[in-house]
């Protein structure tokens, strides 16, 4: 027995005169799909290719730029310490295993964090410019200055 298309199933449910008939349609649909294997959703794999440099910022790093670019309070030194102290939790290991790490990896982390903080500061400046631009244009109504209590 071939399973009906979902649109056909909807048509059958609408055409069924009573609640019992609708239940029977649903039971038939369920029975027709019982022999099919359960489909699990699959997440697409992300392949950004090999790194160009050892300190290349990946999308997992760049996500932090957006997250911390929005915040009102910003202390570069505190955020630097936070990133370095929680590196494994936030970004994962630089190498496949912690055992494979070398002393120069701490320098790599420092360079990556400083580049990340520079990007965050640039993003914060962009947000500030956007907010100030929006505030200037939102005060104008029909070309005149509009004063309203917000």
Tens digit of each residue's pLDDT (9 = 90 or more) over 25-45: 989 888 888 787 777 767 666
Mean pLDDT computed over every residue of the chain = 78
Number of C-beta neighbours around residue 130 at 10 A: 10
Q: Give the C-alpha separation, 137 to 127, whole Å.
A: 15
Q: Give the C-alpha separation, 100 to 104, whole Å.
A: 12
Q: Residue 9 — pLDDT band, cuts 50, 70, 90?
A: confident
Q: What is the largest CA-CA distance in the chain?
A: 75
pLDDT higher at 131 or 119:
119
Instruction: Record the pTM.
Output: 0.53
Q: Residue 65: which residues within 8 A CB-CB, separation 6 or more?
A: 116, 119, 120, 123
């Amino acid at each position: 027995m071939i399973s009906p298309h979902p649109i056909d199933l909807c048509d059958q449910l609408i055409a069924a005169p009573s609640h019992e008939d609708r239940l029977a349609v649903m039971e038939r649909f369920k029975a027709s799909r019982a022999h099919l294997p359960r489909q699990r959703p699959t997440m697409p794999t992300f392949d950004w290719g090999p790194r160009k440099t050892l300190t290349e910022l990946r999308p997992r790093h760049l996500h932090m730029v957006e997250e911390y670019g929005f915040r009102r309070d910003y202390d570069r030194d505190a955020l630097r310490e936070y990133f370095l102290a929680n590196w494994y939790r936030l970004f994962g290991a630089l190498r496949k295993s912690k055992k494979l790490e070398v002393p120069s990896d701490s320098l790599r982390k420092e360079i990556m964090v400083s580049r990340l903080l520079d990007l965050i500061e640039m993003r914060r400046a962009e947000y500030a410019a956007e907010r100030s631009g929006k505030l200037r244009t939102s005060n104008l109504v029909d070309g005149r200055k509009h004063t309203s209590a917000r």
